[in-house]
Amino acid sequence: MRLARYPFLREASDFVRSHGVSLEELLTHPAYSQARRRGKERVLDAIADARIATKAIGYGEEEAMLEVLSYPVARMLVSCLADEFLTRRYALAEAKAMSQRLETEEMVILKEVAHDLGVSVSYDEGSLSMHFCDFLRYTSGLRGKEWKLVNQEVKGGFVPLTQNKFSRVLEQALQEKIEGELPLPVSDAVFDAVSSELAEINVKAEEMRQRMHSNDFGEISITSFPPCMKRLIAMANKGENMPHAGRFAVVTFLGTLGMPNDEIIKTFHTSPDFDNSMTTYQVRHITGDGMGRRYTPPECSTMRTNGLCVDQDNLCQSGIRHPLSYYRIKSRKPKKENEEKVEEVEGTQPEVKKKARQKAAK
């Protein structure tokens, strides 16, 4: 059944209401225990794999009803915890599940989903096109030349897309929609009804949060940064305009080392075109923030191609191929070999300088 595959559709809400199922009944009545179990599964799937596990497609009416009802249950569970990490990861998981299914659907289903998500669509001669405004909005955070509007064919204001690419853009649209809707207002009665499920979900979410933020680099040492990263960070802290490729390199490098997103964002506070909301969105997208793909720093060859490989030292010239390799080697050397003057990084923020001096003095 179509609504079981896409329970976020407005028609699914109408379907539930038409069966007279109240929120209180859904969360407490024994008849809906399986729907509650499946709703909890949706949230746990989101935490573990950032994707809702796909169930068998051949739903009977009872199975379809169960799947549709599990969606509002999952949303209430996420809303009760009101945790940004969980909300974002759940939204991503529902969006990925939808995208995977849309890749093999008939075009009429893609049109319906797009319309429900407020995306303007044109269908002509067996192919789908998306209005360029919607395309720009939902691909702004996607990397790759294939997502740049200048590389698209535009006909009458619409961008023709393959089914896979169209599904990917709708994935972003659904993710933003769910993130914008959650958390929902939750009464004490609702919270009490699902309190036993919340404990396990909260533990699993915290475990995943810690796992996503863990790394094998130990305490971050700015004295072990390769020259290219020292130069880029110095540019950021002095308020110099950094090229996009440089910003991407810095974010991926610091994120891989385990620096929290809030600290990475602070690195760009003095940039002349700094926009907090846009920078926050971009940093979270690049680092994954526990919700999706985490990008890795570009290799040295890419840094050279982008004109970012500067001030090579002896270690750089010894055959290093990646900034992270440089950092690993430098940070594992004996202290006396690894001590460099903190002042090499011009414009470093005071708190970072202080930590570096304290580390060098040990």
DSSP 293-351: PPPPPPPHHHHHHTT---S--TTGGGT---HHHHHHHHHHS-HHHH---GGGSTT--HH
Q: Which two tokens stand for residue 43?
A: 């949230």
Residue 178, CB-side half-sphere exposure with 13 Å CA sphere: 28
Is residue 42 within 8 Å of residue 72, measured between CB atoms?
Answer: no
Q: Residues with Cβ < 8 Å from 216, sequence gap 6 or more?
A: none
pLDDT tens, per residue, the chain with 362 residues: 789 999 999 999 888 888 888 888 999 999 999 999 999 999 999 998 888 887 655 557 788 888 999 999 999 999 999 998 899 889 989 999 999 999 999 999 999 999 999 999 998 877 899 999 999 999 887 766 788 899 999 999 999 999 999 999 999 999 999 999 999 999 999 999 999 999 999 999 988 877 765 555 556 888 899 999 999 998 888 888 888 899 999 999 998 888 888 889 988 887 777 888 888 888 988 888 655 567 889 999 899 998 999 999 999 998 898 999 999 898 875 544 444 433 333 344 444 334 433 433 44
Q: In whole angstroms, what is the distance from residue 239 CA to residue 244 CA? A: 14
Cα–Cα distances in angstroms (integers) from residue 56 to residues 5, 42, 60, 102, in the given order: 10, 15, 10, 15
Is residue 87 within 8 Å of residue 152, measured between CB atoms?
Answer: no
- The pair phi, psi for residue 147, each rounded to 5°, is -105, 0
Is residue 303 within 8 Å of residue 309, measured between CB atoms?
Answer: yes
What residues are paired with 161 via a beta bridge? 128
What pTM value is reported for the model? Answer: 0.66
